[in-house]
Chains A and B, each alone.
Chain A
Amino acid sequence: MTAETINNDTSTKLQSNLKDAIEKKKFAITCEIGPPKGADDKEIRETGEMLRGLADAINVTDLQSSVMRLGSLATCHILKEMGLDPIFQVTCRDRNRLALQSDLLSAHVMGIRNVLALTGDYTTTGDDPQAKPVFDLDSVQLLWAIKRLEEGYDIAGKELTVKPSFFKGAVVNPGADTEASYELQLIKMQKKIDQGAQFFQTQAVFDADVFERFMERISKMNMNVPVLIGIILLKSHKMANYMNKFVPGVFVPEPIIKKMEETEDKVSMCLEIAAELINKVKPICAGAHIQALGWESHVPSLLKKLDID
């Protein structure tokens, strides 16, 4: 495909592996890549190669945890050039509405077709707490803005020469721990669907019951949208205790912590825990979003343990 056809070809079907996988009711697998802290593309290419043919799409974080690092857009571009299907994560923390819309247009001309819209962590949670937080838009408004771009207009109502089009995703946290935050997550999920979200990935889940209750609830609310369960590869019991204490909405149950503490082979146990959870929830969701957090090389072994095609 020539550059020109990539740029202007919006009349034909949207080119997204992820969308195809979800539409064909194949259990979709996405894996996350956190770009490195440095002008370094080697690691991305290596991880991309590792995931080739295994993941339906590769999800690239946008200055994850408010830590300055290589950008999501450039990383997605590299993955796209390698013939992989990237998901461009976009947060509202670092760019105002002009920059956000411009980056979305840039993503489209680079052939990037999946976008994941997020609010973003606050600046003070990262490695440079002195930075100015932007948050000109929130995640719901960002989805609304993408919808407008697809209709051929920017936020200000000015017409675009060529319309972009995307497969649009959003996030939700099934483990919100208070009545208010749980209800707010559900209402916000509906607002995101109303503004065009076509798939969701969840905050990391370790307890199948929590996820099942959440899926039942959204089904009762008639939110029939594909949901990918968030899976973090648990490397140690210390990591579990840390997440329980410091990561909002993530809860690792005691039996799992104990298993990790007692095992001699952390990698095998980690993959066993993840595979058991995925196989359990597989009938009730559209796929899994795997955050390997440095253990990408173990993802192929994990996928072999799953009962999927």
Chain B
Amino acid sequence: MILTEQKPIEEILERLNGENKIFILNCGGCPEGADTGGIKVINYLKEELEKKGKKITGSVSIDFLCQKALLRSRLRTRKKEIEESDSILVLSCGLGVQTSAAVISKICHPALNTITFGGITGMWQGTERCATCGDCVLDYTGGICPYTACPKELLNLGCAGQSNGKCETDPERDCGWELIYYRLKSIGQLDKLKEFIPPRDYSKMLPSAKLRKTNLWALDEEVV
């Protein structure tokens, strides 16, 4: 199970600044187990957002946002609400935010920080897309992770090492920042690139004692 923690509500509100109609997308997979998703959390966020005068256009819970085909088919019935929204607030790990941003042409804000994969990676059989950094920035970068898409993990735009859209580390590899640029351009959010992002807080990568226990229980507890 992927272990997540909710971002501080102040941070969520700051990221939603200037956006008034919000659709809430909840992952019924891992966050339910980590107590960072589910109806209780959705209701709490609705209440906090409404207090600040925001309108919740709708909410839906889908088992495993990281399952792209399932996500696509389930979202078809919610098209109207999503279309009228300014942005989407996603309760999932970084993988779920990335799949959501890939299928929805709106800015997708992570409501959670992903701390550790804890052994099982939901429905996405791979860990290469989410760095479990504990400080998700996917809404700055159009749902493409700058830590996993760029080998230098650059936060304030790409380096000059790209050539014809490919990375200096590997001519077969797309430059992550090129992908971010075109994604943000397609949703009219290029202004996001002008914002200065201060250095990342690496201490957030360390799982708390509580999460470490959850993470390791299958390994260090006797079954019989």
With the chains together, A57 CA to B175 CA distance in Å? 34
Question: From A202, which residue of chain B is reached at the shortest CB distance?
Answer: B160
Query: Is B211 in contact with chain A by the CB < 8 A criterion?
Result: no
CB distance from B132 to the nearest CB of A (A): 17
Q: How many residues of B contact A (CB 8 A)?
A: 30
For A187, list chain B residues within 8 Å (CB).
Answer: 157, 193-194
Query: Is B75 in contact with chain A by the CB < 8 A criterion?
Result: no
Contact A136 to B199, CB < 8 A, known contacts A121-B161, A141-B155 = yes
CB distance from A143 to the nearest CB of B (A): 10
With the chains together, A119 CA to B150 CA distance in Å? 13
Q: Interface residues of B: mostly helix, strand, loop or mixed?
A: loop
Contact A191 to B168, CB < 8 A, known contacts A136-B199, A140-B196, A180-B182 = no
Query: Is A166 in contact with chain B by the CB < 8 A criterion?
Result: no
CB distance from A181 to the nearest CB of B (A): 5
Question: From B182, which residue of chain A is reached at the shortest CB distance?
Answer: A180
Question: From A145, which residue of chain B is reached at the shortest CB distance?
Answer: B199
Contact A141 to B194, CB < 8 A, known contacts A180-B177, A180-B181 = no
Query: Is A195 in contact with chain B by the CB < 8 A criterion?
Result: yes
A121 touches B168 (CB 8 A): yes
Q: How many residues of A contact B (CB 8 A)?
A: 38
Query: Is A206 in contact with chain B by the CB < 8 A criterion?
Result: no
For B190, list chain A residues within 8 Å (CB).
Answer: 183
With the chains together, A187 CA to B197 CA distance in Å? 13
For B181, list chain A residues within 8 Å (CB).
Answer: 180, 183-184
Residues 174-210 of A, flagged 1 when their CB comes within 8 A of B and 0 if not, give 0011101101110110110011000000010000000
For A92, list chain B residues within 8 Å (CB).
Answer: 152
Contact A173 to B160, CB < 8 A, known contacts A194-B196, A195-B196 = yes
For A125, list chain B residues within 8 Å (CB).
Answer: 161, 168-169
Question: From B179, which residue of chain A is reached at the shortest CB distance?
Answer: A180
Question: From B158, which residue of chain A is reached at the shortest CB distance?
Answer: A184
